[in-house]
Amino acid sequence: MRVIAKKVRCPVCSNKRLFDLVSATQAELIIKCPKCRNLIYLYFQNNQIKAKAV
C-alpha cells in the first residue's frame, strides 16, 4: 500500500490543516474541525479528496 500525505483544509473556516491523510485509496470519514467545530465529511478516492460540511 502506498503512503500518501496530504493536507486537507476546512471548507467552512480558514483552518488549512484540518486533517493529514496518511494513506487511503478509498475511504470516507467524518471529522470535527477543531477550529470552527463543524462536522466535515471527507471522501477520498484515488488520491482525490472531497471535503464538505455536513
Residues that bind Zn ion (CB under 5 A): 10, 12-13, 15, 33, 35-36
CB of 6 to Zn ion, least distance (A): 17
User: If 0-12 CB within 10 Å is exposed, 13-18 middle and 19+ buried, where does residue 40 land?
Assistant: buried
Beta-carbon contacts of 7 under 8 Å, excluding residues fewer than 6 positions away, are 16, 17, 18, 19, 20
Name which of 23 and 32 has its Cβ closer to Zn ion. 32
Name which of 18 and 24 has its Cβ closer to Zn ion. 18
CB of 36 to Zn ion, least distance (A): 3
